[in-house]
Amino acid sequence: MLTIGPHQHASQVIIAPMAGVTDRPYRNMCRQFGAHWMVSEMITSDVRLWKSVKSRQRLAYHDEAGPRWIQIAGAEPEMMAEAARLNQARGAQIIDI
């Protein structure tokens, strides 16, 4: 049994975040084959870059089945914290930094 915060599942296998691979269609396919734990592609912590097509696609997880697990990439603590808050507001349930 794997427990992360309030999320618990028997599966201990986690599909790792891979830029250019673990996009929404890939996560949906994995879910259809029984995967439970999946991390989105890495999302930049620099919110100024969130308007790009790629970032918008990576941020479009709000209506996916949970747990919605995202990973934030960055180096500045303040930016990382702000990106975490904004992703939580968008529906992220697990945030990996």
pLDDT value for 65: 86
- Is the predicted pLDDT of residue 91 greater than 90, yes or no? yes
Expressed in percent and rounded to 5, the helix, strand and coil fractions of the chain are 30, 25, 45
**Is the backbone peptide bond immediately before 6 cis, with ω within 30 degrees of 0?**
no
Q: Please, which residues bridge with residue 4 across strands?
A: 7
- The CA radius of gyration of the chain, in Å to the nearest whole number, is 13
85 is in which domain, residue-wise? 2-96
- Is the predicted pLDDT of residue 13 greater than 90, yes or no? no
- Cα separation, 65 vs 81, in Å, equals 24
* Number of domains forming the structure of the chain: 1
Q: Per-residue pLDDT averaged across 55-78, rounded?
A: 91
Q: Per-residue pLDDT averaged across 57-78, rounded?
A: 91
pLDDT value for 96: 93
- Is the predicted pLDDT of residue 50 greater than 90, yes or no? yes
